[in-house]
Amino acid sequence: MTTKLMGQGVQRVEDQRFLRGQGRYVDDVAVDPATLHAAVLRSPHAHARIVDIDVDAVLDLEGVHAVWTHEDLTGPMAEPLPLLIPHPALTHGRTQYALARDEVNYAGEAVAFVVADDRYLAEDALDRIRVTYDVLAPVVGIDAARAADRLVHDDVPGNVGARMEQGTGDAQAAIAKAPHRLELDLTVERSACTPLEGRGTVARWDPDSNRMQVWTSTQSSTGVRAVVAVKLGLDLGQVDVITPDVGGGFGVKINHPWPEELLVPLAARTLGRTVKFTEDRREHFVSSAHERGQVQHIEVGFDDDGRLLGLDVEFWHDHGAYTPYGLIVPIITSTQLLGPYKPEVYRVVFESLYTNTVMVTPYRGAGRPQGCFAMERTMDAIAAYLGKDRAEVRATNFIQPDEFPYDQGLIFQDGRELEYDSGDYPASLEKIKALVGWDDFPAFQKEMAAVGRKVGIGLACYVEGTGVGPYEGAHVHIETTGKVKVATGLTTQGQGHATVFAQLVADELGVRFEDVEVVTGDTRRMPYAVGTFASRAAVMSGSAIHLAARRAKEKVLKIAADALEAAEEDLQIVDGVVSVKGSPGTALDLGTVSVLSNPLRYAFDEASKAATQFSVGDPGKPPVPEDEEPGLEGRDFYSPERATFASGMHAVIVETDPDTAEITILKYAVVHDCGRLINPMIVEGQIHGGVAQGVAGALYERMAYDENGQLQNASFMDFLMPYVTEVPDGIDIDHLETPSPLNPLGIKGAGEAGVIPSAAVFAAAIEDAERIPITAMPISPSELFHLRQEHTP
Amino acid sequence: MSEELHDVRLRVNGASYDLRVPARRLLSDALRHDLGLTGTHVGCEHGVCGACTVLLDGAPVRACLMLAVSAQDQEVTTVEGLGNADGSLSNVQQGFAECHGLQCGFCTPGFLTTITAGLRDNPTPTHEECRDMIAGNLCRCTGYQNIVKAVERAAELGLETPEDGS
Amino acid sequence: MKPAPFAYHRPETLEAALAALAADPHAKVLAGGQSLVPLLSMRLAQPSALVDINALPGLDGIEVDETGVRIGALARHAAVLASPEVRRVQPLVSLALGHVAHATIRNRGTTVGSLVHADAAAEMPVVLSLLGGSVRVASVRGQRDIAAAELVLGPLESSLAPDEIAVSAFFPALPAGAGVAFEEVARRHGDYALCGVAALAHGARVAAGYVSVGDVPTVVDLSGVPAGERGAAALAQLDPQADIHATAAYRAQLVRVLTERVVESAVSSARGES
Amino acid sequence: MKIQGSNVIAAPVGEVWTALLDPQVLVATIPGCERLAATGEHAYDMTVTAGVAAIKGTYAGTCALADLVERESLTMRLSGAGAPGTVEASVAVTFAEVDGGTEVSYDADATVGGMVGGVGQRMLTSVSKRMAGEFFANVAAAIAAPAPAASAPVPTPSAPGAAQVFGAPVRASSPDDFLRGIAVGAGLVLLGVVAGSLVGRRR
């Protein structure tokens, strides 16, 4: 009997391609001189009316095939892009046009679209387009948006896109009655996903089959498919969307459609040529999406032990110029802010505000880092106020292991109750304290202080709702060769799905891992799917694949039992061979079963010939009896009642230079609980990446907008994505496994976790080293230097 | 007026290619779009990310910071040229496979070329030297932890089964 | 991000290169291209023509004698950094080169190219100024040497005429009994420094050169200034500016801190310590 | 981007005032200015090719002098657009009689967009200030020898309406000046600035 692969650190199958340079990313598709290349003219202004666009000089340029402005768009293409996730609280949702109509609302908004023989010529053409703008004063930053002296959209009073409130009771009353009270004002700046591969789309119109084929670097192929069909007036069945290898997503590629995802197919059909758009780095900074920007006010009432009696949170969310992704980010902040704690009364209200900046959609963590920052800074403040140990105050407020399922009494991002399914927070806390050396730190800190060195330690806890619905599906097909082809609709951008999903199938079906091939994000193979975000892929597609493999297995056993004249329960499948337990001689391989599953028995191959010695089916019934289908396939869908809640705790020790205010990481520790692990190697890789992205967001990366709405650091020279030299040399990781009762595998999502507590944990550690309140993140040496100035009498 | 084209002979992974390209054609684009060697990736086009790193006469350089016409008569090695003659993975590639040194794989070719040259020049690097070897390449997925392990593993493999180092 | 069109010349003699450059006032020289090519791709630089000097013979030399180091226009940073002779005769060159971008950039970028680019944020122009070196330039009109002090007119403006090509640079040797040191603070390893300081101590003379402080490479004479007062003395002669990574006040703090550290280390190495 | 500063020119307010309002002085002092076409009173279209070192771009720009308070103050509104990006600037200029001449103070607010806006703002302030200093030397010189270089107005069909077109004298690239530093110059300066920011990094 082969050992189960679930839980094994199996090496990734996809790496064999990637390591040989045989990955196929969207810009690697249609590498052919006949392919046309697109470029987009973008607004240089943050806020302006378009008076005139003169494209006359473009078309006489040799090698230029076409140019579009909004004037040239008709029907649905001329309408605003869809608002993907409406919400009753989003009373003033606004989305942009594929090409700006009469106004631009951020520097970088698409104004004109050019198609030429190559990208060089397309950019030559952009230089010849003359746009006359009537420049308007922009609204930049949350303060300006709240002041509302100027409006981003004339018809959105106060720049308020949405106002939403929820809670579990009268928090203000609870705070008023509490023995102790505190208030905090906290700020988190903008950052962005910045995957190393930007956005890109290739489209080919096939006039013979009347079909549109689209390759795009997306986190939701089915979403792109649906919108391309609607906007181009095609039937869904005429559009195929294929997601090739994706060079990182981290959230930004879940938004769709990008203007280019519609303009490229439009151009392909209009010109009858394959058309490609590959975004360049600057475009990614000014025309994709950002996140994180939030100002938060917290009022809390607590008792002598630091127990939360009342928590009242108000925050303002900068969602940029448009709201295609609705209120997902602020809703997640407002609910996930609670983390592993159980305040007696909680109330939260937020306003989502328009600014003349790049729009906001989820970035790995999606509002949780801000919420975690609010909650954990509050915990630290309470501990400081009471003179108690920071870990102890947290422990006092933990939901206990025997309290699950625990209903927080709120509505989560998926519209379901915020009910935690499982977890063990006290155990996690003990692990993280041991891992980082929490109890020994004060002594170390004294030692260092004695030699003039400043060190500090921080701790932060989080709970992450993962694996949100509505559903994912899977299709498992056993070929007559015995090879197993698996398809699921969500996409892959580095999570190793081809490996972990193959592990699940190999285990459930009893086939060799090497015989399983997984395809993701191809609407031709699985047209019903949602997408890869919210740490949902393993939970959703993993479960669906597990169930689909089980269906295929049921059919295998039924046919094999018939062929081997044995009872199904006496059969076993090992390494792709079905045999009768105890008598290994009586066996047939899955390929043969596959042949037997199809009454049409041409003896094309050895498997078919081998099959001729067996007879299956009831002569008294039609070859394909009712309720059965030819072929050896299993198809199933997984749709959970609600999200499953992973959790974790990070701790960091930092040193701050007394002279240069440089911040150095001495130790970083993570305790992580995502239920049962499919592939620990891959889960740890996700944590490593999340931690690095967290370090980046806490100490290096920000979107440096000036007061005119110009992004001043739209390059990798000034947007400080860390190199290896900026991340911890080693991350200590310990796992806890509290299985989820909500899915057949007991798993929880792990993709986003690593980044959630970073702002909070670094703020805590720097505050501990400096004895200066840290209320705004990210923080640079320059900013720390000035904080020191302000706090030196 | 159509643009002047220049004849250029590129030697890539041991093979010679004769191209006619405009002077402004970047080496990265010539490799990817003219030669179809799409393993070399373009991540920023201003020389910071390192995804497009290739070996020029054995030394790592940014393909996005070179003109194809300027690579005339020099030996270019891309990720496609790193594997062993028998088709098996090189020690550096093998190290990445064993240590989970890649996730989305987009930045990987630039790391592989850089490390291949780095280990050729220093086959027994210290941990610090392994980190330094990759200090000019950006990766957004891995947090670099496993890439450093991969470099160390590749060095180990190199001692067991030395290669020419391309 | 693709370059605008330009004419291209790849001469094989210096004479041909100078002629090509003289023929077109808007032509630009391409050596390592690590600065120029991104500018071309962003279309911030749109020269009418490029004169690619990479095929010119004899310009990649690194000549070292007891008077100093002469570095040819095609000598890559990496080659200069790897030369033990350079390190022996003028260690400051090697110390500073270690801070120039990343190794991959140094494999292609040229030391002379970075000098004539006249960028106040680059290490090598400061080192050249501090050491009192020079750059040799050629044109159809002949050759001349430009002293470091006259090389930089302003931000990114060197005193080279449009028809001149820098063929080499000379860094004087470190005199016996002298000491040098270099240190910089950058946000990320390999980035443009927020502040960099090079120091030279020789007998009574003590001087420091500043990277990323002010519009041009700036050298400050700190002779006779006691330790502990050097930072303030240097600041009195500098005007640190703000950018998106550092306020002027923070940059001033880095000047204070690094000046004390680096000058002290130059002085002690002059004393033969460390 | 905000830039403030002031300089003293050894000439009476009247002369300085007149010089700044004289298109022939403008066209002669804007470096790389190829053409200046009057589109109204104290309003001009201009085409400027300039940059730092060999890094050049051509900008189509406008320059308008408004809120004129004789010998006291004026507002200069400038805009420029070219391949590298765009510049919109408003400069408040005030004139005051002081010992030894006229103190001209400026308070500029410039918005820089496009590629340059994204990668080149770092050095702008210092570069522009430096240029402002040089400008005053030029203006002083221009006053000493009133714009001999500028050609006489010639009507040109290419000019909007019946505008007067002032051609710039043919000359080698002149030192940077006030207009360059603060106006369309803000963009031009950026060409150099960008070079700085990029080149500083990628030697």
pLDDT reading at D169 higher than 60: no
ipTM of this complex: 0.93
Give contacts of D202 with chain B, Cβ < 8 Å: 46-48, 65
Residue C220 and residue C155 in one domain: no
Q: Do the chains contact at B65 and D202, CB–CB below 8 Å?
A: yes
Residue C229 and residue C135 in one domain: no
D199 pLDDT band (50/70/90 cuts)?
Answer: very low
Q: Closest Cα to residue A432, out of A757, A27, A132? A: A757
Q: What is the pLDDT of residue D109?
A: 81
A778 pLDDT band (50/70/90 cuts)?
Answer: very high
pLDDT reading at D85 higher than 90: no
From the CA of D196, how many Å to the nearest CA of chain A?
12
**Between residues A603 and C22, the one the model is more confident about:** C22
Q: What is the pLDDT of residue C157?
A: 82
How big is chain D by its Cα radius of gyration, in Å? 16
Mind listing the pLDDT tens digit for each residue in A100-113? 999 999 999 999 99
Whether residue C188 lies inside any domain: the answer is yes
Residue B65 and residue B131 in one domain: no
pLDDT reading at B149 higher than 80: yes
Q: Closest Cα to residue D93, out of D16, D176, D187? A: D16
- Please give the interface size between B and C, counted as residue pairs whose CB atoms are below 8 Å apart: 89
Q: Do the chains contact at B43 and A197, CB–CB below 8 Å?
A: yes
Mind listing the pLDDT tens digit for each residue in A701-720? 999 999 999 999 999 999 99
From the CA of D56, how many Å to the nearest CA of chain A?
15
Give contacts of B26 with chain C, Cβ < 8 Å: 2-3, 37, 41
CA distance A394 to A751: 25
Among B81, B101, B134, give the residue marking a domain's end.
Answer: B81
Mind listing the pLDDT tens digit for each residue in A498-522? 999 999 999 999 999 999 999 999 9
Residue B69 and residue B129 in one domain: no
Residue C246 and residue C158 in one domain: no
Q: How many CA atoms lie within 13 A of C155 on its CB side?
A: 34
Mind listing the pLDDT tens digit for each residue in A435-460? 999 999 999 999 999 999 999 999 99
Residue C84 and residue C148 in one domain: yes
Q: What is the pLDDT of residue D190?
A: 34
Do the bridges between strand D85-98 and strand D73-82 make them parallel or antiparallel, or are there none, so unpaired? antiparallel
**Between residues A566 and A1, the one the model is more confident about:** A566
pLDDT reading at A18 higher than 80: yes
- Single-letter amino acid, residue A408: Q
CA distance B165 to B158: 9
Test the A interface: residue of C187, C191, C258, C261 with most A CBs within 10 Å: C187
Residue B54 and residue B113 in one domain: no
Q: What is the pLDDT of residue A93?
A: 97
Among C55, C73, C93, give the residue marking a domain's end.
Answer: C55
pLDDT reading at D185 higher than 70: no
> Average per-residue pLDDT in chain A?
95
Residue C68 and residue C114 in one domain: yes
D37 pLDDT band (50/70/90 cuts)?
Answer: confident
Q: What is the pLDDT of residue D151?
A: 41
D176 pLDDT band (50/70/90 cuts)?
Answer: very low
Mean pLDDT computed over A305-319: 98
Domain with B33, as residue range(s), is 5-81
Q: Do the chains contact at D117 and A107, CB–CB below 8 Å?
A: yes
D125 pLDDT band (50/70/90 cuts)?
Answer: low
Residue C162 and residue C222 in one domain: no
Write down all domains in chain A, each with its CATH number in brackets.
17-136+193-287 (3.90.1170.50), 294-468+641-791 (3.30.365.10), 470-638 (3.30.365.10)
pLDDT reading at A145 higher than 80: yes
Whether residue C258 lies inside any domain: the answer is yes
**Between residues A574 and B161, the one the model is more confident about:** A574
Test the C interface: residue of B49, B57, B65 with most C CBs within 10 Å: B65
**Which CATH superfamily hosts domain D2-197?**
START domain (3.30.530.20)
The stretches of A423-496 forming alpha helices (DSSP H) are 425-436, 441-450
Q: Do the chains contact at A123 and C187, CB–CB below 8 Å?
A: no
pLDDT reading at D203 higher than 70: no
Q: Do the chains contact at D127 and C215, CB–CB below 8 Å?
A: yes
Residue B77 and residue B99 in one domain: no
Q: How many CA atoms lie within 13 A of C235 on its CB side?
A: 19
- For D1, the closest chain C residue by CA position comes to C243
Mind listing the pLDDT tens digit for each residue in A32-61? 999 999 999 999 999 999 999 999 999 889
- For D83, the closest chain C residue by CA position comes to C43
A604 pLDDT band (50/70/90 cuts)?
Answer: confident
- Please tell me if residue D197 touches chain A, with a CB cutoff of 8 Å: yes
Mean pLDDT computed over A93-122: 97
Q: What is the pLDDT of residue D122?
A: 52
Mean pLDDT computed over C157-181: 95
Mean pLDDT computed over D118-138: 56
Where does A189-220 show beta strands of DSSP type E? 200-206, 211-216
Whether residue C240 lies inside any domain: the answer is yes
Residue B62 and residue B114 in one domain: no
Mean pLDDT computed over A521-528: 92
Q: Return the bridge partners of D128, or none.
A: none
- Please tell me if residue C268 touches chain D, with a CB cutoff of 8 Å: no
- For residue A55, give Cα distances in angstroms to A66, A113, A125: 10, 11, 9
- For residue A59, give Cα distances in angstroms to A42, A113, A262, A385, A491: 18, 12, 22, 69, 38
Find the helix or strand (DSSP H, E) in which A419 lies: strand A417-420
Q: What is the pLDDT of residue D180?
A: 31
Mind listing the pLDDT tens digit for each residue in A186-241? 999 999 999 999 999 999 999 999 999 999 999 999 999 999 999 999 999 999 99
pLDDT reading at C47 higher than 80: yes
Q: What is the pLDDT of residue D154?
A: 40
**Between residues A415 and C174, the one the model is more confident about:** C174
Residue C248 and residue C163 in one domain: no
Three-class SS string for A605-634? CHHHHHHCCCCCCCCCCCCCCCCCCCCCEE
Which CATH number goes with the domain that contains C146? 3.30.465.10
From the CA of A530, how many Å to the nearest CA of chain C?
33
Give contacts of D56 with chain C, Cβ < 8 Å: 26, 45-47
B2 pLDDT band (50/70/90 cuts)?
Answer: confident
How many structural domains compose chain B? 2
Do the bridges between strand A345-353 and strand A308-318 make them parallel or antiparallel, or are there none, so unpaired? parallel
Count of C-beta atoms within a 10 Å radius of residue A570: 15
pLDDT reading at A357 higher than 60: yes
How big is chain B by its Cα radius of gyration, in Å? 16
Q: What is the pLDDT of residue A736?
A: 94
Which CATH number goes with the domain that contains C264? 3.30.390.50
Give contacts of B53 with chain C, Cβ < 8 Å: 104
Whether residue C1 lies inside any domain: the answer is no
D149 pLDDT band (50/70/90 cuts)?
Answer: very low
Mean pLDDT computed over C43-72: 95
With 0-12 CB in 10 A as exposed, 13-18 as middle and 19+ as buried, what is A654?
Answer: buried
Residue B68 and residue B103 in one domain: no
Subunits with 3+ C-beta pairs closer than 8 A to D:
A, B, C
Q: What is the pLDDT of residue A610?
A: 75
In sequence order, the 6+-apart residues with CB closer than 8 A to the CB of A695 are: A665, A668, A722, A726, A727, A728, A758, A762
Q: What is the pLDDT of residue B124?
A: 97
Residue B63 and residue B99 in one domain: no
pLDDT reading at D30 higher than 80: no
Mean pLDDT computed over A622-635: 90
- For A713, the closest chain C residue by CA position comes to C244
Look at the block and give the residue holding tokens 């969307």.
Answer: A241
Subunits with 3+ C-beta pairs closer than 8 A to B:
A, C, D
**Between residues B24 and D155, the one the model is more confident about:** B24
Domain with C50, as residue range(s), is 7-55
Residue B73 and residue B104 in one domain: no
D11 pLDDT band (50/70/90 cuts)?
Answer: confident
Mind listing the pLDDT tens digit for each residue in C210-237? 999 988 899 999 999 999 999 999 999 9
Mean pLDDT computed over A380-391: 98
pLDDT reading at A183 higher than 70: yes
Mean pLDDT computed over A346-367: 97
Residue C184 and residue C138 in one domain: no
- CB-nearest to B138 from A31, A690, A723 is A723
Q: What is the pLDDT of residue D152?
A: 41
pLDDT reading at D150 higher than 50: no
**Between residues C10 and C192, the one the model is more confident about:** C10
C85 pLDDT band (50/70/90 cuts)?
Answer: very high
pLDDT reading at B141 higher than 70: yes
Which CATH number goes with the domain that contains C48? 3.30.43.10
Lowest mean pLDDT, pick from A136-145, A398-407, D73-82: D73-82
